[in-house]
Amino acid sequence: MLIGLLCALGAGLMWGLVFVAPLMLGDYPGLMLSFGRYVGFGLIALVPAFFDRQRIAALTRTDWIAALKLALVGNILYYAALATAIQLADAPLPAMLIGTLPVIISIFSNWAPGHPSEAIAWRRLAPSLVIIFGGLMLVNASELAHLDGSRSLRDYALGCCIALGALAAWTWYPIMNARHMKRHPHIRSSTWSTVQGLATLPLALTGLAGYGAVNAVSGGYDFPLGPRPLQFVGLMLVLGLCASWLGTMLWNKASQKLPTSLAGQLIVFETLSALLYAFIWRGAAPSAPVVAGIVLLCIGVMLGMRAFQQAGHGAAAKVEEVAAG
């Protein structure tokens, strides 16, 4: 469980970067940020794929179909929706909606677990979820003060709707990814991360070509590298390496080690990392409500881990009792 916790923490630190990138490149369309990030991911994945080619060659057609689905929904669609929502409605509102992921994923994965052994009694799970939700609301309520008011009501509403689409995509992704990893424990987490990068590359290139064709007719964007090509390429490669390949590898490892309901709660590390990077970007210190929300998030995660540990000990004791009987 400790290894899984540390891997989830590392993944959260990597994923937090994706919330800052749309603010750093605010003059780039959300779709270009998505396609650019995942072209970078796919190109970077070619390097480990060469060294891991024997394991990759051993994967089945079912594995590749699963990787393509995960790449499309969890990578391309999710980040395109998130980046677009942030640019339409500013960062705080989409972050508030996406911030509910730890609770939403835990509820769905416990309601329909991939394996009966992953389910936990709701009375054990509920306290940590309530505390995490309270922490998220405190953090996000404070973050709403940073709305600049320059957007129209229509932009805010559209941004929130698109953010809900991103929320649905990333609720589906970790649950299905964890199920595939646990059904195929022979697949290494680094191999599965690389395979998802390889599966993402043709999707991202196809999307990029389609966007270029539409832009050639409608205009409005200096395709393909935009007004700041060096910053764009550099940031896309950083996201491709850190947030995509490394973050996915660490999350795959956490998904193998932890029940999906618990792993879902640990996505709070992404929220905390995004907050950290946002405060660094703004050059500001967190307010008292944000600090209180962060404390609640940490308490909720600790309670969640304790609940799963107790459930595991209880199940082990029951097995020993049956064996002794």
Encode 34-53 in three state secondary structure: HHHHHHHHHHHHHHHHHHCH
Mean pLDDT value of segment 206-227: 87
Task: Quote the radius of gyration of the chain (alpha carbons, Å).
Answer: 20
Contact 104, 167 (CB under 8 A): yes
In a domain, residue 325? The reply is no
Digit-coded pLDDT (tens) for 100-152: 888 888 888 877 666 665 667 778 878 888 888 888 888 777 666 666 666 67
Tokens of 18: 């994706």
pLDDT of 250 > 80? The answer is: yes
In a domain, residue 161? The reply is yes
In a domain, residue 322? The reply is no
In a domain, residue 55? The reply is yes
In a domain, residue 236? The reply is yes
User: Which of these, 10, 289, 58, 1, lies nearest to 192 by C-alpha position?
Assistant: 58
Looking at the structure of the chain, the number of domains it has is 1
Digit-coded pLDDT (tens) for 9-49: 899 899 888 878 877 888 888 788 888 989 999 999 999 99
Digit-coded pLDDT (tens) for 284-323: 777 888 888 888 888 888 887 787 777 654 444 443 443 4
Domain with 26, as residue range(s), is 2-316
Phi, then psi, of 194 in degrees rounded to 5: -65, -40
Contact 27, 35 (CB under 8 A): no
Contact 169, 34 (CB under 8 A): no
In a domain, residue 110? The reply is yes
Whole-Å CA distances, 126 to 105, 115, 254: 13, 20, 22
Residue 121 pLDDT:
74
In a domain, residue 38? The reply is yes
* Reported pTM: 0.80
Is 285 exposed, middle or buried (CB count within 10 Å of its CB: 0-12, 13-18, 19+)?
exposed
* Amino acid identity at 170: W
